[in-house]
Structure 1
Amino acid sequence: MTLLSPNRIDLLILLFGVAWSSTIAQDMALNTTPESDMMSTSISYFNESVNESDVETGSSGWAWYPFTWTWWLIVQTILAILGVIGNGIVVVVIYQRYYSIRSTDILIGALAISDLLTSIFLFPIPWAKKVPDNILGRLYCKLLYPSFFLWFCITAATYLLVGICIERYVAIVYPLYFNRVSSKRKTTTFVLGLWLFSFLLVVYTLFIFIYDESIGYCAGIIKTELGRVVQAYYAISIRLIIPVAIMLVTQILIARSLHIQAKRFQGMVNSGKGDSNQSFHVVARNRIVKMMLIVVLVYVVTWCPNQIAYLCFNLGYISSSYRGSSLHRILTLVGFLNSCANPFIYAARNPEFRSAVMNIFLCSKQKDEAVFSGSGRNTK
């Protein structure tokens, strides 16, 4: 076995793709300064009650808010740690079984990588109050001020989940076509395409946040009510309405197809034409479908309240006191919970994943079979 076989190269390309993407992308504002918070869906990294006299100023022209461990930052850090550990385990499990995994395993591995990066970007950092007028200051305003990396990874995870739903739909409704065209290389290309698509969805934020020389700090260029409303509708469309609609439609069609197939299989069993091996594959496939349905529902439950409140805030249905309030922070933390929830769902619903995790901690040899794919063949 060579060190860099074609299969390993595919995985390296996949890992390189997400690492490269995460360094050039993200989305909305994470701080609570007056302008950017009109577009914010999350929480700030600094103590908002700080006074000017509390600011720590450096000789480089930077000024920083003193870092204070508030309750929301503590919870955010706990979620980040859980996300890094949980998603890291998922990535390790799939990597160890790379030669026997199928398309669903690759997509779930890519989702775990996105959630892993999201969790890393959730770790609190000191927040700048003054930014110098140089290249570093302008990069800060483009990338860190709107938490670009964090929101890109969240968007990528969303559309990878959409991709998993589409892949399962094709595999179950059109199994012969799926087995004919499915391969590791094509699935890897599909994953990279989803990351690129996610980047294109959020790249506009690189242009709407600038360094404002008049105030010596970052500022958003969308200052009109119409601009904020348009941006709010766009954000909720790409993060909630469109992906959730696709996920729910595919899940409904999958459930309908499985119901028809189950009735057909039951008829074969009653007539003595069914076999135990076929029954095993039906049960395994249904288990994966149910697991992914739970993942979709958790995504909807965790992100819907945050995104709906964000839209209502920008439309003026929620008062300005919502910004930075306890409710704002709780809804945002519930959204961030999605990034660390999936590994626990896998452990609860997938015996093969539980076995693989136990093998990691016991330093045992992994089985030569897929972890998450309940149907189809090993992709080439």
Structure 2
Amino acid sequence: MTTEGYHASAWVTATGGISTIAMDREKAIFPTRIERNLSTESDMDHTKMSCDSWEWNALRWGIFDCIQVLIGVFGIIGNLLVIVVLAKRRGALHSMDILVGALAIADLISSVFIIPVPTSKRIPRTPLGLFFCKMIDSRYFLFHGLRTSSYILMAMGAERYMAVAHPLNHMLVFTSRRSKIAIMLLWLAGILSALFIPFVFVITPQCTCLYRAVPSVVFPIGIFNYLVTVVLPISTLLLTQGLTAYSLHKQRTIAKRAQIQKTDKPTFHIVARNRVIKLMLIVVSTYIICFTPNMTAYFLVNLGVLPITFIWSPLSSSLILLMFLNSCANPIIYTIRYPPFRKALKELFCGATGSPRSGAPLFGHNSESVKSTTIKESVSKANGIKA
């Protein structure tokens, strides 16, 4: 999908009085041309055309389209590497590893459909044409991937909080089986939250795939989109990250009261835990930075705070590309900020074998109970000192 496709869709949302709008790349650039080509139900019914062939709109390779291709290619390669690395450790995956793998799959889907493809100019009224209109021209898979990745990220924040604050309950709740069930439910939530998209795209008698906007539901859909893509994920992530930081602060306070020697070196599991927590903080911050500006801008256009012309501005296109960037950002973050992932990549490409921890979880550790035991020992020491 190009930024132009987003512009056309956003313009319909913002101008809730429009009944039908063509998702034509050329029309998407010029709002006056869109208005001139708008049709009503009666207008479309007066002629019946034979839809027996496909015609495509030509791709216009501008700077934003080229950047989209780069983002899509980097996202495909990076997320595939994450999936392959985790697949090689599938026998010892922790709940966090399973969630990271699911996030990589969702981002992979988004990356594939970020790459610009020709949109339909004429489309046959066949099952294949109907599928293409409702699922490909509508960019359903792209929106589904973006939303699902945000829901999985929410689950990752909750998982880390439980691992830090309630390690014993974490071991019972976030088992491998339950984590997979949770991922299936999150994928279902992503499907349902974007399910309205295929229903608003139709093939007209003129053999074009149109976005049919019902004025009475345009504004509620705009609010719903903002809630499920910005408000809910970001508020949940901020809450879980804040609670995790508070829990870590409490643990440090307990350790300090127990007068644990500062020269004591942290165990391997504590070091690994802290690495994953810092990694999660960076991933969450990147998601907020990438998603919030674009979705908020379109929401403000929908409310009438920003003018309609903002949708066709270079700033709007830049914000869309920033949102797309999140689909390829996580593998880059893992590579730069997480040494175990770099080591796993080296083993993958260099064929290294026999690593003592090659069968261990990559992003999580099954021995979270070690942390719990350490805390309990600290509490016992503190109680002994007070006595």
User: TM-score when scaled to structure 1?
Assistant: 0.81
**Helix, strand or coil at the partner of 2:291:** helix
8 Å CA contact 1:131–1:217 kept in 2: the answer is yes
Which amino acid is the alignment partner of residue 319 of structure 2? L
Q: Deviations over 1:152-191 (max 9, x none)?
A: 0111111000010111111211111112343211111111
Any conservation in 2 of the 1:45–1:124 contact (CA below 8 Å)?
Answer: no
Kept in 2: contact 1:114–1:154 (CA 8 A): yes
1:237 aligns with 2:230: no
> What is the Cα deviation at residue 256 of structure 1?
0.1
SS, match of residue 31 in structure 1: helix
Q: Please show how residues 89-128 of structure 1 align to structure 2 within 5 Å.
A: 89-128=81-120
The match for 2:157 is 165
Residue 361 in structure 1 maps to residue 349 in structure 2:
yes
How far the C-alpha of 1:346 sits from its partner, in A, is 1.1
Cα distance in structure 2, aligned partners of 1:274 and 1:335: 44
Alpha-carbon distance between aligned partners in 1 of 2:367 and 2:75, rounded to the nearest angstrom: 30
Larger Rg: 2
Pairing partner for 1:291 from 276, 279, 289: 279
> Does the alignment pair 1:340 with 2:328?
yes
| Structure 2 residue 251 is the aligned partner of structure 1 residue 261 | yes
- How far apart are 1:37 and its partner, in Å? 4.1
The C-alpha deviation readout for 1:89-128, integer Å capped at 9, x for no partner, is 1111111112222110110011011111111111211111
Is the alpha carbon distance of 1:291 and 1:188 closer, same or farther for their aligned partners in structure 2, counting shifts above 3 Å? Answer: same
Give the alignment of 1:111-260 within 5 angstroms: 111-213=103-205, 215-224=206-215, 226-260=216-250
Cα distance, 1:101–1:217 mapped onto 2, change above 3 Å: same
Indicate the SS of the match to 1:323. helix
Deviations 1:130-150 (A, max 9, x none): 222333332222112220011
Q: Note the alpha carbon deviations across 1:281-337, whole angstroms, 9 max, x for none.
A: 223212211110111111010111110111122222222323333222111000000
User: What is the Cα-based RMSD across aligned positions, in Å?
Assistant: 2.8
SS of residue in 2 equivalent to 1:219: strand
- Aligned amino acid, residue 289 of structure 2: V
Tell me, yes or no, if the aligned pair for 1:284 and 1:375 is still in contact at 8 Å: no
**How far, CA to CA, are the matches of 1:272 and 1:102 in structure 2?**
31
Shift of 1:45: 9.2
Following superposition, the deviation at residue 60 of structure 1 comes to: 3.6
What's the offset of the Cα at 1:345?
1.1
Query: Paired residue for 1:38?
Result: 12
Using a 3 Å threshold, how does the CA distance of structure 1 residues 261 and 274 change in structure 2: closer, same or farther? farther
Q: Which residue of 2 aligns with 1:9?
A: none
Selected match of 2:298 from 310, 329, 334: 310
Distance of aligned partners of 1:78 and 1:272 in 2 relative to their CA distance in 1, 3 Å threshold: closer
1:76 and 2:68 equivalent? yes
Q: 2:384 corresponds to which residue? A: none
Task: Map Cα deviations across residues 267-294 of structure 1 (whole Å, 9 max, x no partner).
Answer: 44x3569964x54322321221111011
Amino acid at match of 2:181: T
- Separation in 2, partners of 1:250, 1:125: 38
What residue identity is the alignment partner of 2:124? Answer: P
Provide the rounded CA distance (Å) in 2 between the counterparts of 1:125 and 1:65: 9
CA distance in 2, matches of 1:188, 1:363: 29
CA deviation after TM superposition for structure 1 residue 64, in Å: 1.4
Identity %: 31
Cα distance in 2 between the residues matched to 1:252 and 1:33? 36
Shift of 1:69: 1.6
Distance 2:7 2:273 in 1: 49
Q: 1:301 aligns with which of 273, 276, 289?
A: 289
> Taking structure 2 as the reference length, what is the TM-score of the superposition?
0.80
* CA distance in structure 1 between the aligned counterparts of 2:9 and 2:66, rounded to whole angstroms: 26
1:20 corresponds to:
none
3-state SS in 2 of match to 1:129? strand
Classify 1:89/1:302 alpha carbon distance in 2 versus 1 (closer, same or farther; 3 Å): same
Relative distance call for 1:181 and 1:133 in structure 2 (3 A) is closer
Whether the 8 Å CA contact 1:287–1:374 is kept in 2: the answer is no
